[in-house]
């Protein structure tokens, strides 16, 4: 497992999930995640995370599950509009 970079505000579980989601989406970043990504890159990451949230982040009646809570936290970290 890759070491969590210092800029990453989430925990190790969140970082491992981020890497797995990006790998699943076949995302090939132009930047090294050892540094905080630039705005356009963060926007792409948020789009991927939002897709993943909608497919695996909810239980019945749109109740956020554990995975969804972690994904929402990742979206908060990468949201370029905050």
**For 31-63, how does the pLDDT look when each residue is reduced to its tens digit (9 = 90+)?**
678 889 889 899 999 999 999 999 999 998 999
pTM for the model stands at: 0.88
pLDDT for 15 equals 93
Distance separating alpha carbons of residues 59 and 2, to the nearest angstrom: 29
pLDDT for 81 equals 79
**For 17-29, how does the pLDDT look when each residue is reduced to its tens digit (9 = 90+)?**
999 999 999 887 6
61 secondary structure, DSSP code: G
């Amino acid at each position: 497992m890759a070491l969590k970079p210092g800029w990453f505000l989430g925990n190790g579980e969140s970082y491992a999930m981020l890497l797995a989601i990006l790998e699943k989406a076949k995302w090939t970043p132009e930047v090294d995640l050892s540094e905080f990504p630039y705005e356009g890159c963060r926007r792409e990451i948020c789009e991927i995370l939002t897709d993943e949230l909608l497919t695996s982040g909810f239980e019945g009646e749109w109740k956020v599950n554990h995975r969804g809570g972690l994904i929402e936290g990742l979206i908060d970290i990468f949201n370029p509009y905050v």
